[in-house]
Amino acid sequence: MSPPQPSRVDPKIWRACAGAAVQIPKLHSRVYYFPQGHMEHASPSHYLSPLIRSLPFVPCHVSSLDFLADPFSDEVFAKFLLTPLSQSQQQPFQNDNKEARNDDDDEDRENNGVVSFAKILTPSDANNGGGFSVPRFCADSCFPPLDFRADPPVQLLSVADIHGVEWRFRHIYRGTPRRHLFTTGWSKFVNHKKLVAGDTVVFVKDSDGSVSVGIRRAARFAAAIETPPPAEREGFSRSTTGRVTAEAVAAAAESAARNAPFEVVYYPRTGFADFVVSAEVVEESMKCAWVGGMRVKISMETEDSSRMTWYQGTVSSACASENGPWRMLQVNWDEPEVLQNAKQVSPWQVELVSPPFALHTVFSPNKRLRADQGSGLLSNREQDPFFPMPGFSNSAMGHMTGFPNSTVGQMDKPLLSYESFPAGMQGARHDLYSPLSFSNFLNDNSYLYMGSGSFGNNPVQSLGTVTTELNMSSSQSDDLSPHSQSSFHSFGTEFTGTRNCDTKVGPGSILLFGKIIQPAESDLHDADCMERDGSRGSNKLKTVEACYFSK
C-alpha cells in the first residue's frame, strides 16, 4: 500500500506543497540554526533547557538536505544534516553572495515551468460523497484544457500524490452558471487521505504537463487525533507538535554544543518560523539598528496561498534579553487579529517600512495594500505611502546598535510620536550574544556601521527595486474557461518591497521570503504566448524567478 518510509520528493513539487513562504536554505550553504525556534516546533510550552538557552544560534553548514513527505499524512518536510562551523570555517560575507547567486540559478531551474494552486477545502469539498469545486483559475492554470465544444466538457484527470501514487478525478465543467468540478474519484481521495474541511490541497503542474496533488493539513485539531507512534498509523497526528520531539531538539542542541553534526527535521507550518535560516539573510537583517518605534511589515501568504500580502506594524521593543536575535522584535501589528503568532518576530522575518520619523506620514490602516484589492495593481509604487525615500533609508542605519537608551534617544526619540517604550527595552547589554556572537561572526565594520559607506565596499550590483512580471489570464481565450465574468485575473507576487536598512540589494539577497520585488504597471494579454511555450502558467514561483532574470 502506501510506503512506510518517507518519500523523497521532487524539490519543485516540494516547494509548491510547502508554500512560497517557506524558504529552505541551499545544500552546502551557510545557515544559522536556532534551537529555540526548533523547540517551538516541539513544545507548545516553549520550555528552554539551560543548554538551549546557552545556544541562541549556531552557525552551520548544510551538509545534507532531503526533501521528504510523510507517508501517512502526505505532508512535506525537510531533513537537514547540519555541521556546526568553527570560526575559521566561516566564510567572508562576499563569498556568501557569490554562492547565493549560484543557488538562485539552481532554484530558477528547479522551479522552471512549475505551476501550482492551493485551495483550502470547504465543507462541501470535504463532504463524504461530495465533489470538489475547482476554482476557475486552478483549472485554467494547472489542468489540461477541456474541450468546450463538448456538452458538458469533461475529462479524466490523472493526478499523482506526493508519493507518486496516481489518483483519477473526473473533471467536468457544468452547472448554471458553469463551473469546474471534480466528481468521480474525488470522494475516494478525500476518504483515503482523511481530508477535512480546512485542509489544503495543492495542485502542481510540472513543465511536462503532469499534474500532482499535495496536502497541507489544518492544524486546528491539535491533540485530537493523536496516535501513538510508531506502530499503527491508521490515523495520524494533526498536532502541530509531536513530529518534532523535545528530545530531538535537546539531542540536536547537545550535538551543536559539541560542534558535532546533527540532524534536524523541519515541517513547514504557517505560524511557525523557520529555525534554519540562510546565514546571509540573518546577517543582513542584523546589520540594522533595530529600535522600538520602527515601522515594519511582514509578508504572509493569502489564505488561498496564491499570493502574498504585507501586514504592517510598529516595533514596540527590540530587546533580545538573552535569547539572541530569535524573536527579538516585539511588534504591535496594525491588524493583530490576523497575526496572532507573530507578536514576537525575528529581524529577518520583517522589513523596515520607513525610518521612524516617517511615522509623521499620514497612514491609514485601511489603505494597507492587499494584493486582492485589484485597484492597487497598476500604480502600487505611487500609491504606497511607505515607498522608500532613498536619503532616509541610508541615514536610518547610521547608528550603532539596536539597544535602547544610549542610542535610541539621540536621533529617533525626538522624531517619534510614541510617548513611551516598553520596559523590556531597558537594560539590554552589548555582550548579549556570547559565546557565539554575531559581532565575532561578522566583521565589526559591517555589523556596527552599515551606512552609505559600506555600500561602496559591496561588489554586488545594486538593485534597489525589482520589477515583477505580471501575467494576466485572459478569459476570452478559447483554451481557458469561457464566459468569464471578469476579464482579468491578477496573480503572482504582488506587493511593495523595500529595503531600508541596507542599500545592498541584489539577486543574491533573498531577504525574508526572498521577495524584494515590486510590481510594475502591466496589462499584457499573453495567454496565447504562454500556451505556446508550454509554461502557460504564471504561478507565483515562476513569476518570482522570471522577475529576477527578466531584469
| Residue 136 site contact among a second copy, DNA, none (CB < 5 to 8 Å, cut-off depends on kind) | DNA
| Residue 231 site contact among DNA, a second copy, none (CB < 5 to 8 Å, cut-off depends on kind) | a second copy
Within 474-503, the residues that bind DNA by CB under 7 A are 475, 481, 483-486
Contact (CB, 8 A) for 20 and 545? no
| Residue 481 site contact among DNA, a second copy, none (CB < 5 to 8 Å, cut-off depends on kind) | DNA
Whole-angstrom distance, CA of residue 492 vs CA of residue 527: 15
Comparing CB distances to DNA, the nearer of 187 and 245 is 187
* Residues touching DNA, count (CB under 7 A): 37
CB 129 to DNA: min, Å: 3
For the record, the C-alpha cell of 345 comes out as 518576530
CB 120 to DNA: min, Å: 8
Please select the residue that binds DNA; options are 71, 130, 261, 451, rule is CB under 7 A.
Answer: 130
* SS3 state at 34: coil
CB 247 to a second copy: min, Å: 19
Q: Which of 62, 52, 70 is nearest to 2 (CA)?
A: 70
Comparing CB distances to DNA, the nearer of 180 and 536 is 180
| Residue 485 site contact among DNA, a second copy, none (CB < 5 to 8 Å, cut-off depends on kind) | DNA
Q: Which amino acid is at 178?
A: R
Please identify, among the stretches 107-115, 116-124, 430-438, 524-532, the one whose residues bind DNA according to the rule CB under 7 A: 116-124
Please select the residue that binds DNA; options are 8, 98, 109, 188, rule is CB under 7 A.
Answer: 188
Whole-angstrom distance, CA of residue 440 vs CA of residue 443: 7
Please select the residue that binds DNA; options are 87, 128, 364, 375, rule is CB under 7 A.
Answer: 128
CB 377 to DNA: min, Å: 17
For the record, the C-alpha cell of 544 comes out as 518570482
Which residues would be at the binding site for a second copy (CB under 8 A)?
1-2, 4, 71-72, 227-228, 230-235
For the record, the C-alpha cell of 425 comes out as 527595552
Integer-rounded Cα radius of gyration of the chain: 24
Whole-angstrom distance, CA of residue 80 vs CA of residue 66: 7
| Residue 232 site contact among DNA, a second copy, none (CB < 5 to 8 Å, cut-off depends on kind) | a second copy
Comparing CB distances to a second copy, the nearer of 236 and 310 is 236
Whole-angstrom distance, CA of residue 136 vs CA of residue 495: 23
Q: Provide DSSP, 113-171.
A: T-EEEEEEPPHHHHSTT--EEE-HHHHHHHSPPP-TTSSS-EEEEEEEETTS-EEEEEE
Please select the residue that binds DNA; options are 53, 163, 168, 178, rule is CB under 7 A.
Answer: 178
Neighbours of 335 (CB within 10 A): 11
Asked if residue 539 binds DNA (CB under 7 A), the reply is: no
CB 134 to DNA: min, Å: 7
Whole-angstrom distance, CA of residue 213 vs CA of residue 166: 10
Q: Which amino acid is at 42?
A: A
CB 185 to DNA: min, Å: 7
Comparing CB distances to DNA, the nearer of 346 and 471 is 471
| Residue 360 site contact among a second copy, DNA, none (CB < 5 to 8 Å, cut-off depends on kind) | none
Whole-angstrom distance, CA of residue 115 vs CA of residue 206: 7
| Residue 235 site contact among a second copy, DNA, none (CB < 5 to 8 Å, cut-off depends on kind) | a second copy
* SS3 state at 499: coil
Eight-state DSSP code of residue 448: H
Asked if residue 131 binds DNA (CB under 7 A), the reply is: yes
CB 161 to a second copy: min, Å: 15
CB 473 to DNA: min, Å: 9
Positions of E strands within 349-394: 350-354
Whole-angstrom distance, CA of residue 144 vs CA of residue 159: 11
| Residue 326 site contact among DNA, a second copy, none (CB < 5 to 8 Å, cut-off depends on kind) | none
Contact (CB, 8 A) for 302 and 280? no
| Residue 539 site contact among DNA, a second copy, none (CB < 5 to 8 Å, cut-off depends on kind) | none
Report CA 392 to chain centroid distance, whole Å: 28
> Where does this chain bind DNA (CB under 7 A)?
119, 122-125, 128-131, 133-137, 152, 170, 172, 174-181, 183-184, 186-188, 191, 475, 481, 483-486
